[in-house]
Structure 1
Amino acid sequence: MPRVQLPAVTPKRKAWNKGRIIGQKRPLLPKQVWAIRARLEMAGNLRDLAMFNVAIDSKLRGCDLVKLSVIELVKDDRVLERVSVIQSKTKRPVQFELTENTRETVLVWVNSPEMFACRFMFPSRFHDRPHISTRQYRRLVRDWVTAIGLEPSGYGTHSLRRTKAAEIFRKTGNFRAVQLLLGHTKVDSTVRYLGVEFEDALNIAERIDI
């Protein structure tokens, strides 16, 4: 009796994105920003509080945030109001402002015993690394949003980068300003990054009386 060759059966793999929220991570709302700040303040976590505040104000990518040096933010024992850094991705400079609240938390952090002789703003607690890694930063963001009851799969390091930019756009509708603050070379990139829809554009137009 001839032998029948059956077709090979490939086991079905579970989709990598099953049960996950895919796409751009949501920006934080102002009340969520203050909720995270309050928790970090109550915990006395000086490093995380300074990092969170700088992340919100700077709108930097994680790879640039973790590599910030002390001398880029602090001069003559004073935290700068405006800072300029070269972005790793584009090799172009981007400027950002540090609010009074952020400057206060940064000053407290750099004057703490943990920062003695440290070159980087956010040193790693592992001796073989000069500053925290982007992976550590992602883990911290996950912990922060989880602590205030948010679903961590919907948020990430880009949530902090987008938070202030989204709020600026919501209040002003000024794409060009947001583009400059994010360090984008094209407005199209800013439009995609903010997830702006035609309905958003109409809402902005409705607020303008001419």
Structure 2
Amino acid sequence: MLDCTDSLITDFVQMLQVERHYSLHTIQSYHSHIETSKTLLRLTGWDGLTVDHVRLLVMKSKQAKLSARSISLRLSALRHFCQFLVERKVLQQNPAESVSAPKIGKLLPKNMPAEAVSSLLDFTPESLHDIRDKAMFEVVYGCGLRLSEVTGLNMVDILSSRQLKVWGKGQKQRLLPVGNVAWEALQDWLKVRPQWLVSDFSAVFLSQRGNRLGNRQVAKRLDQLAVRQGMNTNISPHKLRHSFATHVLESSGDLRAVQELLGHANLSTTQVYTHLDFQHLARVYDKAHPRAKK
């Protein structure tokens, strides 16, 4: 539990953790933005919060030269908190609901060409670390997992039907098929995993000391693998997830299926990949159509 001096913020944080099952990162972000908002507006209580206060907060955030994305996140945190205050009958209505955030330029997900992914993952393991890392990143790319989803995998989540049971955001469960390459790499790791097993530990991916791998450790291992494979571009687990989504969409054109595979609650979140898909189609058109060539 985070340290909150305001009892309403404490209750809000607890609600996000216990009822909404938000990630610790999201909870910390919301808590920080709400505390900052209270300080900037010099509020002694929340019952007097008005639309003018919220507009003043946006103005002060702009004066502090926060990015449009950061201001949007701050406003979103306050909006969720105000809705909580309405439910608690501290406020009659949500004063942040009618205040618009600054427009954010659309950032397209960064992905890798299929050939680049092959260059990264097509290597022969020479150690237990290599066997584990190959399995880990084949699963990330093969199933489109979030970083927290791969580090959160437990042995009971590996099903004999070549499926993974994955717990996504908000503790929402989804079943994912595992392709041949990823499944074989995973089986290779499971054969040697007992060598690092200190006790009856549930995590699929372990460190040499027998502990569950953390997000930072996984990201660092991917960086090291990229350097070893002679990759010049910055590569992250999230980029492998984006690459999975882009490649599946390019091949299938099935946006709904990609939404389900990624575990997106809303289709609008997945639709950003249609922009990438269009770019791919445009390049194919430019190369293939006789009237497109200059």
TM-score relative to the length of structure 2: 0.52
Asked if 1:70 corresponds to 2:155, the answer is yes
Quote the offset at 1:104 in angstroms. Answer: 1.7
C-alpha contact 1:80 1:103 (8 A) present in aligned 2: no
- Cα distance change on mapping 1:199 and 1:46 into 2, 3 Å: closer
Cα deviation, 1:97-125, whole Å, max 9, x if unaligned, reads: 11122222212211214254442111123
- Cα distance change on mapping 1:119 and 1:84 into 2, 3 Å: closer
Rounded Cα–Cα distance in structure 2 between residues aligned with 1:53 and 1:186 = 26
Matches within 5 A, 1:14-33: 26-33=110-117
- Bigger helix fraction: 2
Q: Which runs of 5+ in 2 are unaligned?
A: 1-106, 286-294
Asked if 1:49 corresponds to 2:121, the answer is no
| One of 175, 182, 188 as aligned partner of 1:102 | 182
Give the aligned CA root-mean-square deviation in angstroms: 2.7
Asked if 1:111 corresponds to 2:191, the answer is yes
Matches within 5 A, 1:184-195: 184-192=264-272, 194=273
Who is 2:203 aligned against? 120
Who is 2:246 aligned against? 166
SS in 1 for 2:174: strand
| One of 213, 217, 234 as aligned partner of 1:136 | 217
Rounded Cα–Cα distance in structure 2 between residues aligned with 1:198 and 1:86 = 27
Rounded Cα–Cα distance in structure 1 between residues aligned with 2:219 and 2:176 = 22
The amino acid of 1:32's aligned partner reads A
Rounded Cα–Cα distance in structure 2 between residues aligned with 1:199 and 1:108 = 38
SS in 2 for 1:85: strand
Rounded Cα–Cα distance in structure 1 between residues aligned with 2:256 and 2:280 = 14
How many residues were matched structurally?
173
- Cα distance change on mapping 1:156 and 1:24 into 2, 3 Å: farther
Rounded Cα–Cα distance in structure 2 between residues aligned with 1:31 and 1:184 = 26
The amino acid of 1:124's aligned partner reads S
Who is 2:34 aligned against? none
Quote the offset at 1:53 in angstroms. Answer: 1.1
- Cα distance change on mapping 1:133 and 1:195 into 2, 3 Å: farther
Rounded Cα–Cα distance in structure 1 between residues aligned with 2:233 and 2:108 = 13
The amino acid of 2:202's aligned partner reads R
| One of 275, 278, 289 as aligned partner of 1:196 | 275
TM-score relative to the length of structure 1: 0.71
SS in 1 for 2:212: coil
Rounded Cα–Cα distance in structure 2 between residues aligned with 1:25 and 1:65 = 20
Structure number with greater Rg is 2
Higher relative contact order (CA 8 A, sep 6+): 1
Cα deviation, 1:61-119, whole Å, max 9, x if unaligned, reads: 10111111112115xxxx541222221x2321222111122222212211214254442
Rounded Cα–Cα distance in structure 1 between residues aligned with 2:132 and 2:277 = 40
SS in 2 for 1:144: helix
